[in-house]
Every structure is written in structure tokens, then in C-alpha cells.
Structure 1
Amino acid sequence: MSTQQTEPTGRAGRYQRSAAGLVVSLLVTVLALGGVLYFMGAFRHDLDVRPEQVDHLDIVAAAQQAGLKPIYPADLPDGWIATGVDVVPGDDPAFTIRMLTDDERFVGVHQEDASSTALLARWVDEETQTADAYEVPRSVMRPVARHWDGYTDEGGDHAYVATVGDDTVIVFGSADAEELQAIVDALVRRPVG
């Protein structure tokens, strides 16, 4: 008995290749991908990209328990949130609180044993201009400093700087001058509690 193997005969099937066929297949692929992305987006809720609020008073209390003497706003204006607190312990401690106003403009408070020039260059702009100084009203009992030098830059940022003990305190940000002044008025150094 012999086994006979059959060899394929003829030529492999061929199809017509054309530029129009390529364009049509690419168009179908793009439309299918767009449909999938649209379908996935239809079930997605609006994302809230607002930073998460932190309890700055808890962090201030912990810093105080570690022996630091941070200057901080005792209360924030309505609608404002603290978004972060940085504590740098050691021989040259530094303390920073980041906040957002109710219309999401940035305000920061930074405290460090450094010159006002260095802090302005780091936190505002190397080319700041002198602006109107701010005197904390007499109605504010025991402010951390009564006189604050004012600064601004070409981008519209504002800053107020004062010396408190060995430290320089800067209140700065894209918020308007009156909003920064509200934070200056709220600054304290007393123990949290």
C-alpha cells in the first residue's frame, strides 16, 4: 500500500491591494477606537482635581511637640483649604503652609532663618518690586509682627515679609493683597489646643 501525498496546486489566494483600501481600513480602525473611548468616557464621572484638604493644625501641633515654634494661621477664611504643610526640622528649621482660596488662588506662608531677599527670590520672583507695606490693625491682638513690607512681581503675585525673632516670615501667592493681609492678621505662634 502506498501513501500518496498531495501537493498543493495552483497559487495562493490573492486580493487586490490599493491605497483606497488602506485608507478605508485606517478610517474604520480610527472610528472603532474613537467609539470605544467615547463609550468608556460615558460612564466616567466628572473628576474633581481639587487638591485634598489637610488639617494644618494637626501638623502644627506635632511640630510644636517636636520643639519647633511654627507661625501659622489659627483660622482660614471661609471656603479656603490648607493643601499641604512642610516641616524641615534640624539646626535650620523651616515651616511652610500651602493654601487655596475659595476661588482656587494660591497662598503660602513660609518661615525660615534666611534673608527676605533670599525668600522673595525663591518664593515670589528674583525681580520683585517694593509695594505698599501693611500694618496689622490695632484690633488684632498680639500679632506675630505689626509691620510687614510689601512686594509684588510682574506676574501679579504679592508678598508680605516680616522679621519675627531670628526668622523671616513671608506670606505670598497669586491671591490679591487683601487676601494675603487676611492671612497676615490670622498668624499666631501660640500652642495649638
Structure 2
Amino acid sequence: MSGKPARHQTSMAGMIGAMIVLVAAVLAVVLLRDLGRESAETSPDALEWESAVAGAQDTGLEVAYPARLPAGWKVTSVELEPTDPPTWGMGMLTDTGAFVGLRQQDESVRDLVETYVDDDAEEGDPVQVGGDLGGTWSTYTDEGGDTAFVLERGDDVLLVYGSAPREVIIDFAEQLTEAPRD
């Protein structure tokens, strides 16, 4: 016996080869694990918004809200900030998954349009909207297909906007009311 420990000869090529085999094995495990899974479609939960309207009205705020929500629509966000002046908003998905939003606050029209539609939104011809809050509403559109309708009422600006078709947004605006909730 020579008294020397046995040595294993290693080379850079051998180490790179082992690394490639290891990475391939990890990728194979990940791919096989995901093969058996079905991807779950995620959809936001519908929120209960009527109590926010009732609560705002109980404190003396006059907030615009839909007298009825169209069939298949769901409210995905509600915002009520009792600041001075207060801020009110709702976000909804239509039955086809398009977005419609409602904002009511004491802010300039330009600021609201830039925040919720686009910095470069262009003003279009005004439209007549019926319903409780009917009248002449300003219109704005952007290059991405978003549309907004704006009604100025005293200090408040009411903005109805979204990616839904123009007619759908107008129909929604016609459903708006400030009537006391039961």
C-alpha cells in the first residue's frame, strides 16, 4: 500500500455535463407536476355594494348609484372615502367581462379623466343621457378604446367610464339615481 488516498479525476467538462443533467431533471419534475393540473380560471368575487350606499346616505351624503345592476354584472370594487369632500366609486364587470366604473368626487374633470381614462383622452361631442341624473354629459375617449361620460353637478363631477361598449356605458349612466335606499 502506498498510503495515498484514492483520487477521483474531475474535469470542467464533466462538471458542466453533470449540471446539465441536474437542470434537465428539475425541469422534467416541474413539467410533469404541472401536466396533471388544470388551470383554474380566476374571477373576482362580487361585492355587496348596497350597504355602502345606505351607509353614505345615512351620513347625509348624496351618492350616485345604479337603481338596478344589469343582469350578469358584478361589482368588483367599492370605494367610499368620507373625506372632505367625500369620494365615491364603484368598479363593475359586465356579463361579457368588460369593465365599467363610476366615480363621484369634487375634482376637476380633466384630473378625473386623466386618472381613470387616459392622459391623452380626447373630448368628443356631448350626449344626452336620460334617467334621474340625465342631462347633457361630456364624452371622452382614448386610443385604447375606453370611453367616459362626465356630468358636472355643482362641486361634484360624476364620471362613468370603462372598456365596455359606448351604448352599455350610456345605459348604465341612465340607471343612476340618488334616491334613498330602502
TM range (shorter): 0.7 to 0.9
Paired with 1:14 and 1:63, the residues of 2 have a C-alpha distance of 80
Paired with 2:80 and 2:144, the residues of 1 have a C-alpha distance of 28
1:48 corresponds in structure 2 to 41
1:29 matches 2:22: yes
1:76 matches 2:77: no
CA RMSD of aligned residues (A): 2.1
1:105 corresponds in structure 2 to 98
The 4+ residue runs of structure 1 with deviation greater than 3 A are 42-45
Residues matched between the structures, number: 182
Alignment TM-score, normalising by the size of structure 2: 0.87
SS in 2 for 1:97: strand
| Distance change in 2, residues 1:192/1:14 (3 Å) | farther
Paired with 1:97 and 1:11, the residues of 2 have a C-alpha distance of 79
2:84 to 91, 95, 119: 91
1:157 matches 2:146: yes
Paired with 1:187 and 1:9, the residues of 2 have a C-alpha distance of 96
Contact 2:134–2:174, Cα closer than 8 Å, also in 1: no
Shift of 1:42: 4.0
Paired with 2:166 and 2:126, the residues of 1 have a C-alpha distance of 10
1:18 to 11, 32, 35: 11
Paired with 1:49 and 1:20, the residues of 2 have a C-alpha distance of 46
Paired with 1:75 and 1:24, the residues of 2 have a C-alpha distance of 66
Alignment TM-score, normalising by the size of structure 1: 0.83
Paired with 2:69 and 2:3, the residues of 1 have a C-alpha distance of 85
1:62 matches 2:55: yes
2:136 corresponds in structure 1 to 147
Counterpart amino acid of residue 180 in structure 2? P
Paired with 1:44 and 1:9, the residues of 2 have a C-alpha distance of 58
| Distance change in 2, residues 1:170/1:40 (3 Å) | same
- Higher Cα radius of gyration: 1
Paired with 1:64 and 1:169, the residues of 2 have a C-alpha distance of 17
SS in 1 for 2:171: helix
Counterpart amino acid of residue 183 in structure 1? F
Q: Share of identical aligned residues, percent? A: 36
Paired with 2:28 and 2:177, the residues of 1 have a C-alpha distance of 56
| Distance change in 2, residues 1:103/1:20 (3 Å) | farther
1:130 to 111, 123, 126: 123
Shift of 1:110: 0.2
Contact 2:124–2:140, Cα closer than 8 Å, also in 1: yes
Paired with 1:45 and 1:155, the residues of 2 have a C-alpha distance of 32
Structure 2 gap segments, 5+ residues each: none
SS in 1 for 2:124: strand
